[in-house]
Amino acid sequence: MSLFAVPDFSEFQSLLHSPTTTDVEAVLQKDKLHINDLATLLSPAAGEMLPALALRSAAITSQRFGHVIQMYAPVYVSSFCNNNCVYCGFSAENKIARRMLSLDEAEVEMNILADRGFSHVLLVSGEAPGKVGVAYLAELARRTRDRFAALTIEVQPLSSADYCTLFEAGITGVAVYQETYDRAVYEQVHLAGKKADYDYRLETPARAAEAGMREVGIGALMGLSDWRSEGLVLGMHLAWLRKHFWRTNVSVSFPRMRPAEGAYEPPLPAGEKELTQLLFALRIFDWDVGLVLSTREEERYRNGMIGLGPTRYSAGSCTAPGGYANPEIEGEQFSVGDHRDLQEVCASIRLKNHDPVCKDWDATFQKGF
Ligand code: SF4
């Protein structure tokens, strides 16, 4: 299989910066977009036309997804990490109290979320395979899969064979964000550990899809490099995955940096306006992609975006291992921006005439049970 090749950011700057408002209007009339059209939607000219982009994005989202918003919550199972990512609270360099949940403790966290009504749980850990490895994740999935419609993971990149093992055990999806597609910046912010290998990480979504995962999640951490360029390469990566793995759903996340241990200052912070443009542009570019808006963003912003493009919201999230059973526990990866629980977020979604759903497909059917 060919590999996804990331162009140098300098190669497409004129594509991103030369479009006019007339070019944007023309793209908004199209049904099938080329990657150059995505560049037009990410341009400064399109940034001046957000209401028009919002209308188009909302119409496409309504047509493809109805009024449904899927709900999920993360379960952090370990804060141990072998890597040194300068922007992250779990970085090996940070002197924080670290914690790894036993299988029983992780199950308790998951049961709390099941009792709250969640049916999609994202298992998250730092990248320390000696702590949270395939055997741990597979056993946790086997123990809990009957209680959840979707069990996804955001852990260290794994081999295709490992993803096959996890899929058999009940894991249905893999989220792995490149953080930045800008290779030079990537090297500057990933100083040590396996994550310093840009290419291995880049190829991970393909390995997960190859193993049969129902969904792969990709994304870039907004703030590390130029957001327009990151958005364009995200679109290229998305299109490439669609072409090679048409059976696998692809979702995209747009995590903006949050305050974390280490107090890293992002060099190119992106605001809500930039995030909004990126989100609309990707929706208009790919009508079927899942767009995730997590609790990194604040209540006001998340409420305002209901119905305009995102299709998945998290709620009541805690980013410290053990934080659902013990809300006083310290050791968050980052502090969240929206502290509402599931019921409160669902109420806001319903106020906008949308339906929050905790289960949108039957995992037992997919596993062939
Ligand atoms: S971003 Fe992930 S890999 Fe990097 S230090 Fe944080 S937990 Fe570890």
Q: Tell me, what's the pLDDT at 89?
A: 86
How many angstroms does the Cα of residue 184 sit away from the middle of ligand 1?
Answer: 18
Q: Candidates 76, 80, 85: which one to mutate for ligand 1, based on the most atoms within 8 Å of Cβ?
A: 85
pLDDT digits (tens, 9 = 90+) for 61-102: 999 999 999 999 999 999 999 999 999 888 998 888 899 999
| Across 146-150, 287-291, 314-318, 364-368, least confident range | 364-368
Report the pLDDT averaged over residues 268-295. Answer: 96
- Atom number in ligand 1 closest to CA 91: 5
Distance 262 CA to ligand 1 centre (A): 12
Tally the residues of the chain.
369
Instruction: Express each pLDDT in 111-156 by its tens digit.
Output: 999 999 999 999 999 999 999 999 999 999 999 999 999 999 999 9
* SS3 readout for 42-86: CCHHHHCCHHHHHHHHHHHHHHHHCCEEEEEEEEEEECCCCCEEC
- What pLDDT does 257 receive? 82
Flag whether the pTM goes above 0.85: yes
Sequence-ordered alpha helix ranges (H) in the chain: 13-17, 21-28, 35-41, 44-47, 50-65, 103-116, 134-144, 160-169, 183-189, 198-202, 204-210, 227-244, 272-285, 299-305, 342-351, 363-367
Q: Mean pLDDT score of the chain, rounded to an integer?
A: 93
- Check residue 102 and give its pLDDT: 98
Per-position DSSP letters for 159-184, written without gaps between them: -HHHHHHHHHHT--EEE---B-S-HH
Query: How many whole angstroms from 80 Cα to the centroid of ligand 1?
Result: 9
In this predicted structure, what is the pLDDT of residue 248? 97
List all residues whose CB is within 6 A of at least one atom of ligand 1.
Answer: 81, 83, 85, 88, 90-91, 126-127, 195
CATH superfamily placement of domain 69-367: Aldolase class I (3.20.20.70)
Q: Which residues contact 3 (CB under 8 A, 6 or more apart)?
A: 199, 202, 203, 206
Domain boundaries of the chain, sorted by first residue: 69-367
Burial class (CB in 10 A: 0-12, 13-18, 19+), 184: exposed
User: What are 1-14's pLDDT values in tens digits?
Assistant: 678 999 999 999 99
Q: Give the residue among 237, 254, 270, 266 at the shortest CA–CA distance from 309.
A: 254
- Ligand 1, residue 79: give the atom nearest the CA: 7
Does 197 or 260 have the greater pLDDT score? 197
Res 365 pLDDT > 60: no
Residue nearest to atom 1 of ligand 1 (CA): 88
Ligand 1 pocket test target in 127, 191, 258 with most atoms within 8 Å of CB: 127
Residue 193 pLDDT exceeds 70: yes
CA of 229 from ligand 1 middle (Å) equals 23
When pLDDT is averaged across residues 296-322 and rounded to a whole number, the result is 95
Give the per-residue pLDDT at 330.
81
Distance 326 CA to ligand 1 centre (A): 23
Nearest to 284 by CA among 42, 11, 7: 42
Query: Cα(259) to centroid of ligand 1, in Å?
Result: 14
Q: What is the pLDDT of residue 50?
A: 98
Distance CA 169, CA 234 (A): 30
Residues 110, 111, 116, 118, Cα dihedral to 10°: 50
- In the reported structure, the alpha carbon of residue 193 is separated from the centroid of ligand 1 by a whole-number distance in angstroms of 10
Q: How confident is the model at residue 259 (pLDDT cuts 50, 70, 90)?
A: low
- Res. 261: pLDDT tops 60: no
Nearest-CA residue for ligand 1 atom 4 is: 85
* pLDDT higher than threshold 70 for residue 169: yes
CA-closest residue to ligand 1 atom 5: 91
How many Å apart are CA 289 and CA 278, to the nearest integer? 13
The number of the ligand 1 atom at minimal distance from the alpha carbon of 156 is 3
